[in-house]
Amino acid sequence: MAANQTLTIIKPHALRDNNAGAILAVLNKAGFRIAGMKMTRLTRDQTENFYNEHRGKYFYPPLVDMMSEGPIIVAILEKENAVTDLRRIVGSTDPAKADPGTIRRMFGLSMRENAIHASDGDQNALREIGFFFSETERY
């Protein structure tokens, strides 16, 4: 059975380009309820730990650099089939290949600066939510 919560991260460049509100509006229109949200900035160590499963891959070092370069917004999103629905709305990792109307197509700049992170499965969603939110920060 699919979980009803997932995690998203609005990436530093999307905040820098003042797109956070528009991205949140897309998520709201798609029926997601925010069950926790905050703005934060990851240290390099925190970023390396969060993306540890990608350590050793060619994109890991630039991903760590980008995700620790400025503030991010993290949010717990709630909806039936949350992971699947969010990944559909987010679109392809490559904004140029993402479907029209998806967040990455609208706000992504490149494969690396693609506006938004979305958990890739129910187990990762639980791990990622726990990374950013204590029990008292979840609603």
As annotated, the active-site residues are: 117
Question: Which pair of tokens denotes residue 16?
Answer: 């820098």
Give the sheet arrangement for strand 116-118, strand by strand: 33-40, 72-78, 5-10, 116-118
| Distance (Å, whole) CA 33 – CA 77 | 6
| Residue type, position 97, single letter | K
| Distance (Å, whole) CA 107 – CA 125 | 23
| Distance (Å, whole) CA 105 – CA 87 | 13
| Distance (Å, whole) CA 88 – CA 99 | 9
